[in-house]
Amino acid sequence: MLSKSLIYIILTILCAFALSLTLGWILIPMLRRLKAGQEIREVGPNWHATKAGTPTMGGLTFIGASFLCLVFGIGYMKEGDFSALYVLVLSLCFGLIGFLDDFFKVRYHRNLGLTAIQKAMLQLAVSALFLYILFRVGLLTCDLYLPFVGKTIYVHPMVYMVFAMFVMVGCVNAVNLTDGIDGLATGVTIPVMAFFTLVSIAAGQMNLALFPAALLGGLGAFLTYNFHPAKAFMGDTGSLFLGGAVCGLAFALDVPLVLILVGFVYIVETLSDIIQVAYFKLTHGKRVFKMAPIHHHFEMCGWSEEKIFVVFVTVTCLMCVAAWFGLQGRY
């Protein structure tokens, strides 16, 4: 028989799905009327020009669903355990940075919103505050757990803080880079949220499990709007929120190195972009990939958006299974 906590988690997934679906039905036509459409980058594939004008900031659907589920679920949370709310607030802060970025893009009809420096400084500040809170409440330690090895290594607090801040900012922007074709960031993050829900349950952190569960349901509904051909994009509002959720959950569970596995696709996307830019500068114009990030390379090779979606999501599912086995000695 299912425990009361598991029933709450299942209900959270279902409620978030229904809320996100409803919010999308209301919000997306509203964004279209407000002409809050996506500006398409000139350096992207030519056929992406047909996506111009597709409503952006659609991430507000699963953000709103997750927020409402956690707010109404506070009464069912174990007294004094606010871990899910800590990660939610972190994600909302990153989402707010993304919202400002989207707002300036839509307001001034350009593809670039906040400058890279502005985003980096805001993201570092948010990350530092979140990590400080986790240390203060005892959710995070300086003992870095090594998946598969089953051991921990102690890291000096200041070194750990710097390491963690850059991991968080890197993770957030990696998720943002992945959001380059219809449904990709949404589809890749769904198994990641399923993974963190199961790990939270295995760790006995049932309150924390409510957040990835809510996001799992919300993303499932949003995918119906975001899958190719997309009726809406999540925008930086959604992708930065998701990035905050992914890294926030890893640190709240005190297993940040698991991001190497569950975030494999995010990392490959980022590395492909870094390699492309570095090689281009070093060779004065030569390229490693036909286009970066790597999902665009596969597009240029003739892969359909649906095929890229299926392959990348499948890889993420396999990496999440590997990560699950890598944490078996942890709980």
Per-residue pLDDT of 214-235, as tens digits, reads 999 999 999 999 999 999 999 8
Say whether pLDDT at 53 is over 90. Answer: no
- pLDDT in the model for residue 103: 79
Number of structural domains the chain divides into: 1
Q: How sure is the predictor about 39, in pLDDT bands with cuts at 50, 70 and 90?
A: low
Note whether residue 158 is domain-resident.
yes
282 lies in some domain: yes
Check residue 307 and give its pLDDT: 97
pTM of the model: 0.92
Average pLDDT over residues 271-300: 93
In a domain, 147, yes or no: yes
Which string of b and e fits 254-280 if b means at least 16 CB within 10 Å?
bbbbbbebbbbbbbbbbebbeebeeee
- Cα–Cα nearest to 40, from 30, 31, 28, 49: 49
**Ranges 8-12, 72-76, 128-132: which has the least confidence:** 72-76
Q: Where are the beta strands (DSSP E) in 114-209?
A: 143-146, 151-154
Residue 47 lies in a domain: yes
| The one-letter amino acid at 286 | K
- State the residue range of the domain holding 257: 4-326
> Does the residue 262 lie in any domain?
yes
Q: What is the pLDDT of residues 253-262, one digit of tens each?
A: 999 999 999 9
The answer to whether residue 273 is domain-embedded is yes
Asked if pLDDT for residue 286 goes beyond 80, the answer is yes
pLDDT at 32: 82
Mean pLDDT within 238-257: 96
Could you read off the pLDDT of 6-35 as tens digits, one per residue?
888 999 999 999 999 999 999 988 888 876
Residue 294's pLDDT is 96
Instruction: Give the pLDDT mean for 145-169.
Output: 94
**What is the spatial distance between Cα 10 and Cα 297, in angstroms, rounded to a whole number?**
38
In a domain, 331, yes or no: no
Give the distance from CA 67 to its chain's centroid. Answer: 15
Q: Both tokens of residue 257? A: 């190195």
